[in-house]
Structure 1
Amino acid sequence: MENILTFDNVELYYDHVYALKGVSISVAQGETVALIGANGAGKSSILRAITGLSAIKSGSVHFMGERIDGRIAADIVKQGIAMVPEGRRVFPHMSVKDNLLMGAFTRHDKAGIKMTLDSVLERFPRLRERFKQSAGTLSGGEQQMMVIGRALMAKPKLLLLDEPSLGIAPKLVQDIARSIVAINRDEQVSVLLVEQNSRMALSISNRAYAMSTGSVALTGNSKELMTDDRIKEAYLGGV
């Protein structure tokens, strides 16, 4: 499969502290790739570098064959990359409807936006039920569904997810995981998933990169990594 994203030998630092040390990853067209590892391992820094939120020191980022490092975030969204940030970051006093429509800010095709909105509401029926409610009144799980839906409103080719299970009730984590699988399968959207819940991430991805202090420690097929003793010990609690 052809790579939709190539992140090549990237270095990034904050206040002279290296966050990424020559990191290389890739995502193929139609693939779900997981980034696992502890806090501070560099997972979110990869997403920030892809989306233009943090400038890289060296290396390159290519999306669909074009170099995108150095471009502003709005241009990167227009090119086909959407991110679901850690911590959800909803507009709490705006309705669910208006929060979702914020995701289509780069689009001007009214009919297409309406079709995408209908598709999002079909995928997440709870959002239809709460369509006119203020986003701040939703549960954590419902808010996460909403911000995933908001990202889908941009009609991305690549969806970046930063800790989608964080702070979500355990019974809803499976719902979020199933929705990620369905989005990848049904809409042919490539997915780059950052998760501390390594077991969940490995169970729904094709490949994974295990991060450690700004570097890639291990990489491979997700199902094979699930049975790797090094992954079990360091990322799956030794079981």
Structure 2
Amino acid sequence: MKKRILTRFTAIMFIIGLMAAIQYNTINEPNLRDTRDEWEIRQELSREKQLHSQLLSEIGSLDETLNKYRAAADASPEQALRETAGELRKSAGLSEAKGPGIEVLVEPSLEAVAMGLEIEGISPDLLIRLVNEINRYNGLYVSIDGKRIINTTAIRDINGQTAVNTKPVDTPPFSIKIISESMEDSKKLYNHLLASRILDDFYIDNLTLNVSEPQNELVIEAYDGTVDTKYLQASEGE
């Protein structure tokens, strides 16, 4: 009888101990762990700071444009409207852009050429990643294979071929032109692209990025399509 009670007591204590151990591990081990090292976290923080700085710069630029318009409107409303319309067309990509920038040549890797591999077109995902990298580092105006990038630009697969603004992108080699706000921004973008991991992503697809030295004046063509204004509405106000 005593032996049976001792056995039951031992089993109960074992179960209680097992449940306590499971609860302890659940409390002390979070479901999600951040496996990034310190350097990766610092890089992410640096990118967020750059984005914040870029947003502040854009807000300042818009405030400056608004102040210019108000000042010019008092002297010559018609001239103010013409200047503002010109600036808006430039910002929207509807007019030719000139300024300091760099040119990136996308071409087959030397190994792919030497091995006689078939060179395929660039994938939409890879091209979108590159554009995001450019925008993150103050790429103001961008043209891909002669196709101007604007706010409504779509980069996608159409019938098995990557297209920008519904127009197919040539099989490499082709060039990408990037104009920045200043020569300093062009140099920053140049250095960033040379050190970016995206170079490895292109190499995996048997492609390379050859980045030119920053130029004092680069010319990017205007957007040659039709801007969809279907969802724009006129509003009354000051």
TM-score, normalising length from structure 1?
A: 0.23
**Of Structure 1 and Structure 2, which has the larger fraction of its residues in strand?**
1
Structure with bigger gyration radius: 2
